[in-house]
Amino acid sequence: MALGILDLIVVTFLAAMIATVGIAVSHKFSRRPQRLRRETGRDDIAFLLDGEDIIDSTCDAAVLLSKAGFSEPHRDSIIAVLEPTFGDLRQTLDECEAEPLVLAAIDGSSSWVNIVPAGNTIRITVGGHSDANVAQINALTLVKGNTELAELRDVVKNAPTMMWRCNEKGQLLWANDAYFQVADACAGAEIETARLSNTPLFGEFDDTVALESTQTRKSLKIADQDAPRWFDISTYKSETATFHYAAGADSIVRAELAQRNFVQTLSQTFAQLSIGLAIFDSRRQLATFNPALLDMTGINFEFLSGRPTLDAVLDRLRESRMLPEPKNYTSWREQFSAMEQAAKNGTYSEHWDLPDGQTFRVTGRPHPDGAFALFFEDISAEISLTRRFRSEIETGQAVIDHIEDAVVVFSNAGNLVMANTAYSTLWGTDLADGLTHYDLRIELRKWQDRCTPTRIWTNLREFSSHMGLRQPWTDTAIMDDGRHITCQADPIAGGMTLIRFKFERPKTPTIQKLVQADPALLSAKG
């Protein structure tokens, strides 16, 4: 019981202290606004600034700001009211330090302003004024406000953008000159001053527009013009009226139309291509494809039109056996991650050998903003033709390699086109380095070094480079080991020359059988 009474006494004491402090604080702040009024006279104009805010003012000062149309207690309100009479007050307040400062009126009156800094506050007092001076200050402020209002009206009236105002029923209440010019052009009338019609040019707008700004695009039919004019209209709906601002959008509409036509032209061009095209955007989703991709891959249109991701497209290609079969799934995923990066860099180009024997050449090309395109080209016929040509070349090479004579073929330009093993062995030409390293001039030098001097090589050079009709010819040379070698040159298709080297076989004596009796032997036998 004793403890409860003690607690009650403590709580009561604390409550009394808090109440006392609160009363003192409230009394202090309730008396603060009366400080300037008590320290100054009844008709004095005085303000007390703390930074940018007016924390106290006299009655006449408050009335002065109220008549000037300033309801916010801010330093800019004082500057706007007093600057016409006392000059550049803003700069003076910005540069004001600890010393008081007095400004005289610039209009020749006896008024003055006393600026007294006091710590973080600044006291501004207007002295030497009379009722006439205050009226003059109010008049100057009113003139300045009217001037600003006139300037704003001129700005709105002469603005190149159409502006107009409608009431709650949608009837036109006000419009600027740009609006009237367009209205005259629509009516086809050449008049200097257009009459204000109750019906706006663009008709009615949506009544469900909220109390905020919205934007829409509408067109107007101008007299003596085939194409309509387009405008982007911004609408602001207040509680009592609706304001509209229309900016010309002809260039934007033309650009959008040109872009649409360009896209349609590209789409028609893509549709005629025999190469499959798939364009993926920066989010790896399919943005564009052409019919050739459907024909080549067999993927249905519904799937591709759903804008699938790159992974989904590759999965569908794998299910359709239109991808090279990987050894394992992990490396397959890593391979196509690298493919995507290479396509964005423009360095991806590979041949896909499909299980059904088809071959696709897949090329990646980068596009702006992280997009990339994949081109699918069916090169099965090209690969087949290349393989057949390679087989024919290998077969032809194998055939001439089985010829015992040394055989070599030169083009009309003198380049070595083909040679067999016998030729490489005879003249020491290493065909493993490639045929491009050898030509007729190099080979002639070898032949001359291995044979005795003769004109056969000069004739052979002229024969190979002759452009007209040529006849085959044959000649014999003697090698440095004494063997006789026959050189035979024949013209073949494409202006090329086939040269064959063969050694003459030595003649062996033959024994002839006597079929008739020798008269000398018969006479000797008697």
How far, in Å, CA of 389 to CA of 385, rounded?
6
Classify the phi-psi angles of 96: left when phi > 0, otherwise alpha if psi is within -120 to 50, otherwise beta. Answer: beta
Q: How far from 423 is each of 412, 419, 438, 454, 499, CA to CA, in Å?
A: 20, 6, 13, 20, 10
Instruction: Give the model's pLDDT for residue 498.
Output: 93
| Domain identity same for 334 and 368 | yes
- Which DSSP string corresponds to 306-337? T--BHHHHHHHHHHTT-SPPPSSHHHHHHHHH
**Which of 193, 219, 252 is the C-terminal boundary of a domain?**
252
| Domain identity same for 244 and 285 | no
Cβ-contact 246, 232 below 8 angstroms: yes
Phi and psi at residue 89, to the nearest 5°: -75, -30
How far, in Å, CA of 351 to CA of 318, rounded?
16
CATH of the domain at 311: 3.30.450.20
Residue 498 lies in a domain: yes
Instruction: Give the model's pLDDT for residue 3.
Output: 42
| Domain identity same for 246 and 288 | no
Bridge partners of 484?
A: 478
Collapsed DSSP state (helix, strand, coil) of residue 523:
helix
How far, in Å, CA of 470 to CA of 482, rounded?
31
| Domain identity same for 50 and 27 | no
The total number of structural domains in the chain stands at 5
Phi and psi at residue 284, to the nearest 5°: 65, 25
Kindly state the tokens that stand for 191: 């008049």
Residue 330 lies in a domain: yes
Residues 6 or more apart from 113 whose CB is under 8 A from it?
82, 86, 89, 102, 103, 124, 125, 126, 127
- pLDDT tens track, the chain, 526 positions: 444 454 554 445 445 454 443 434 333 333 334 455 444 444 578 888 888 888 888 887 777 777 666 767 778 888 877 877 777 778 778 777 767 888 887 766 777 888 888 877 888 888 775 554 555 555 555 555 566 677 777 788 888 888 888 887 778 888 888 888 888 888 764 444 445 566 778 776 655 455 556 788 888 888 777 888 899 988 888 777 888 899 888 889 889 888 888 888 877 888 888 899 998 988 889 988 999 999 888 888 999 989 999 888 888 888 888 877 766 666 766 766 777 777 777 778 888 888 888 899 988 888 877 888 889 999 888 888 888 888 888 888 889 889 899 999 998 888 888 899 999 889 888 877 666 678 889 899 999 999 998 889 988 888 888 888 889 989 999 998 888 999 999 999 888 999 999 987 665 555 555 556 656 556 655 5
Residue 383 lies in a domain: no
List alpha helices for 277-430, DSSP H: 291-297, 301-305, 310-319, 329-345, 380-401, 421-427
Bridge partners of 164?
A: 175, 244
Instruction: Give the model's pLDDT for residue 488.
Output: 93
Whole-prediction pTM value?
Answer: 0.46
Cβ-contact 276, 376 below 8 angstroms: yes
List alpha helices for 158-290, DSSP H: 177-187, 250-272
Residue 279 lies in a domain: yes
User: Which residues constitute the domain of residue 184?
Assistant: 158-252
Instruction: Give the model's pLDDT for residue 21.
Output: 39
| Domain identity same for 51 and 22 | no
Instruction: Give the model's pLDDT for residue 474.
Output: 92
| Domain identity same for 51 and 82 | yes
Collapsed DSSP state (helix, strand, coil) of residue 445:
helix
Residue 495 lies in a domain: yes
How far, in Å, CA of 67 to CA of 143, rounded?
12
| Domain identity same for 366 and 288 | yes
How far, in Å, CA of 319 to CA of 297, rounded?
11
Instruction: Give the model's pLDDT for residue 519.
Output: 66
Residue 397 lies in a domain: no
Residue 260 lies in a domain: no
Maximum C-alpha span of the chain: 192
How far, in Å, CA of 412 to CA of 414, rounded?
5
| Domain identity same for 22 and 107 | no
CATH of the domain at 48: 3.30.450
Residue 166 lies in a domain: yes
Angle between helices 131-157 and 75-86 (to 10 degrees): 110
Collapsed DSSP state (helix, strand, coil) of residue 76:
helix
| Domain identity same for 82 and 166 | no
| Domain identity same for 23 and 52 | no
| Domain identity same for 108 and 194 | no
Q: How far from 24 is each of 14, 21, 33, 481, CA to CA, in Å?
A: 15, 5, 15, 136
| Domain identity same for 447 and 360 | no
